[in-house]
Every structure is written in structure tokens, then in C-alpha cells.
Amino acid sequence: MQFIDLAAQQARLKDKIDARIQAVLAHGKYILGPEVAELEERLSAFCGARHTITCANGTDALLLALMALDIRGGDAVFVPAFTFAATAEVVPCMGAVPIMVDCDPDTFNMDPESLKRCIVMAREMGLTPKVVIPVDLFGLPADYTAIEPIARDEGLTVIADSAQGFGGRIGNKVTGTFGQITTTSFFPAKPLGCYGDGGAIFTDDDNLAELMTSYRFHGKGDYKYDNVRIGMNSRLDTLQAAILLEKLAVYEEEIEARQRVAERYSSALAPRWSVPTVPGRMLSVWAQYTLKAEDRAARDAVMARLKEAGIPSVVYYPMPLHQQTAYKAFPVDPDGLPVSEEVAGQVFSLPMHPYLSEADQDRVIEALLTD
Ligand SMILES: *Cc1c(COP(=O)(O)O)cnc(C)c1O
């Protein structure tokens, strides 16, 4: 059994992807070819954002967003402690200070009350609060309903890190349209992945869109050899865009299939396990299906049992950012980060992908229900 079975999806789409790749080889426009523009249009249509700017990966997407917002030394950027390092990594790259916010014990997403404490602390430290980066962890949208008003009151820009959550929803609103800017990643194992690195940025703001389009191409002006700002090289390859076009065409269907797997897991496991919480009106795209064990020892035991049964499971993430070597020196919530520390010792994720058979789901369920 695979944790994420990319081969099953490839078997389904192989002819279409092959044809798309051949088309790129025939026209030869490998950088910013027509497939890139087509993909950007389709992504905008999918999520409802006015602009989509594709780029080289999800980390660059965050970096380009911070560049467009002119983040610099003395600025504070609020990030969850319980996330993948890329969310925070881009902040010191811009000379700014990442401040680590605690998470909710049930959704694992940014805790709005912790965010408020961190904003007060940042001001006391003499920093200027500028940006908050909520993460749609494991595919579940962050609590934008609570975070957006806080950001508005405090004058913060919201960059939604939806690397794991593109296509998730709150009511009818799709990720890509929360905050002033949303970023995502097309890393192969993400819900919408390509066959290499890739990323995208979404915004309704014409000015930010223009800036990020320029920054991703060496800060180009209207004429590409007149560079008007210091930028970088961060474009999505035409080949990757071609592959993504075929994957995007079945993505809605795949999200529904992920939903069915998650619902089946949850209804079978809920009597015995702490199953994922999806607050009302939210739709997760289930980048991960994550359970919580009592503690580290219980988690080690159950993961060993799964392994014996031939079932892969993975811990995302065993260590919150503030305990990692490179991030230890950055400020954290003045009340500490007890929830991030606790859940890092409890969580483990099960095999999850749209092509996971009911027979395999049953094997996972059985292994978790028997001692
Ligand atoms: C994967 C990921 C990223 C970075 O994406 P890359 O495409 O690998 O650079 C950023 N944030 C989160 C939460 C992620 O999971």
C-alpha cells in the first residue's frame, strides 16, 4: 500500500499527459509557453481569484508575496509554529522577524487568540506588525473568519499559505481567495502536484499581481531587458504547466474522492480514535488524514503496529518550528506554544489519496481497531 499513490493517477491520465508533453516538445516554448498562460487562466477560474501568477515552487510563492509587500528589517511576520519550515523560512530571508503563533488542538491551524497576543508582543518589542501567514494545514482552510478581522483591525496583510490546501473551501469561497494573497505549491505530493517543483500565487489586487509578475522574472519592466526592480528567476516550466492542466481537469473529482476516503476513515475510527475535526462550512482537500494518539509512546506503538501490517504512516510534523535549530532564536507567543508542542508528539497521518481502494481503507481501519 502506498502512502500517496501517484502512479494510480498517472495511469489514469497518462495518454492525455503524454499528448500535452508532446505538444510542448513540438512548439518548444519551454519558458512561459502558452500552457503557462492557459494554466493561470484555469486556476483563476477554478478558485475565483482575479490573478494567478505561477512560479517555481511554493516557497518562492511566499517569498515573492513578501517582496511585493516590501517586507524588510524591523517588520514582524506572524507564522504558525506547527507547519512546514518554508512558511517561516522566507521571513528572515527578507530581513524581517518571524513570530511563532500557537495552533488549535483540534484543527492544528493557527489559533487567533495566540495571534492577538503575538501582535501585542511584537509592538512591545519595537517591531512593526506587517503580515500574518495562516497555513491551511493538512488541507483544511485556516480560520480566516476569525483571522481576517484581526488583520484588518491591526493593519496586517494576510498571506494564506495554501500549499496543502488549494481547492479547500469555507462555504462557497475557495482557497485562493482568502487574504490579500494566497500561495500554493505543486510539489508532487501536494493535493494538486506536478512532476517536479511548481507553485502559484493568487490575488485580486492588480498592483500586487503586477509586482509579483515582475519579481518572478528578474524584476522586469514593460521591456524584458529593462529591469526596473531587483527580482529573481522563479517561473513555472511550460512542461509542468502542461502536466498540471490535465491534473487540474480532474482535480474537483479527486477532491470528492478524497472526501469519501476521509469520511469512511472517520466514521469507522471515531469510536476509538481522535479523528480530524472539520469545522462547519469548511471543506478540507485532505493533503493528510491525521489522527492524534494519547502521547509519543502510544503513537510509536500504533505506528509500529501499522508498519507490521504493511501500512505506511508518517508524522507531520515531529517538531514544531521553534524547537528546530535554525528557528530557536525567534520570538514565540508570550504564553508559550504548549499546543504545538503537544500535538507534535501525538499526530500521525494515514495513507490518503483519491485512488485508495475501499479494500485498502479497510485494512488500515482494521489495523487501527485491533490491538
Ligand atoms: C510544501 C509546503 C510549502 C513549500 O512548497 P514547495 O513547493 O515545496 O516550496 C510551503 N508551505 C507549506 C505549508 C507546505 O506544506
Q: Say which CATH topology domain 252-369 has.
A: Aspartate Aminotransferase, domain 1 (3.90.1150)
Closest atom of ligand 1 to 135 CA is 13
**Ligand 1 centroid distance, CA of 15 (Å):** 29
State the CB neighbour count (10 A cutoff) for residue 220.
Answer: 17
pLDDT per residue as tens digits for the range 324-366? 999 999 999 999 999 999 999 999 999 999 999 999 999 999 9
Query: In b/e form, how buried is each residue of 356-365, taking b as 16+ CB within 10 angstroms?
Result: beeebbebbb
Question: What's the CA-to-centroid distance between 222 and ligand 1, angstroms?
Answer: 30
| Rounded mean pLDDT, 232-246 | 98
pLDDT the model gives residue 222: 86
Ligand 1 atom closest to the Cα of residue 87 is 11
Could you identify the atom of ligand 1 that is nearest to the CA of residue 86? 10
Any idea which fold 6-100+109-249 has?
Answer: Aspartate Aminotransferase; domain 2 (3.40.640)
Confidence tier at 69 by pLDDT (50, 70, 90): very high
With residue 76 as reference, give the H or E element that holds it: strand 75-80
Give, using CA atoms, the residue closest to atom 6 of ligand 1: 58
Which residues have any ligand 1 atom within 6 Å of their CB?
Answer: 57-59, 83-84, 86-87, 135, 161, 163-164, 185, 187, 197, 199
| Stated pTM of the model | 0.98
- Cα–Cα distance between 216 and 213 in angstroms, integer? 6
* Grid cell in block for residue 27: 512548439
Pocket test for ligand 1, best of 164, 175, 232, 321 (most atoms within 8 A of CB): 164
Residue 232 DSSP SS3: coil
How far, in Å, from the CA of 57 to the mean position of ligand 1?
Answer: 8
Classified as helix, coil or strand, 134 is coil
How far apart are the CA of 137 and the centre of ligand 1, in A?
Answer: 10
pLDDT at residue number 332: 98
By alpha-carbon position, which residue is closest to atom 2 of ligand 1? Answer: 163
pLDDT for the residue 223: 81
**From ligand 1's centre to the CA of 185, what distance in Å?**
6
* Dihedral angle over CA of 251, 255, 256, 259, nearest 10: 170
Q: What is the pLDDT of residues 269-281, one digit of tens each?
A: 999 999 999 999 9
SS3 content of the chain, % helix, strand, coil (to 5): 45, 15, 40
Distance 198 CA to ligand 1 centre (A): 10
Atom of ligand 1 minimally distant from the CA of 136: 13
Question: Domain residues of the chain, as ranges?
Answer: 6-100+109-249, 252-369
Distance from residue 310's CA to the centre of ligand 1 (Å): 28
User: What are residue 222's phi and psi, to 5 degrees?
Assistant: -65, -30
Ligand 1: centre distance to CA 262 (Å): 22
- The β-bridge partners of 54 are 200
The 10 Å CB-count burial string (b at 16+, else e) for 19-51 is: ebbeebeeeeeeebbebbeebbebbbebbebeb
Matching CATH topology for 6-100+109-249 and 252-369? no
Quickly state the pLDDT bin for 319 (edges 50, 70, 90). very high
Question: Residue 225 has what pLDDT?
Answer: 83
- What contacts 179, CB < 8 A, 6 or more positions away? 134, 144, 148, 151, 157, 158, 159, 160
Q: Put the strands of the sheet holding 75-80 in their side by side order.
A: 51-55, 199-203, 181-185, 157-161, 128-132, 75-80, 97-101
What is the C-alpha to C-alpha distance for residues 169 and 165, in angstroms, rounded to an integer?
9
Ligand 1 site-directed mutation target among 87, 184, 234, most atoms within 8 Å of CB: 87
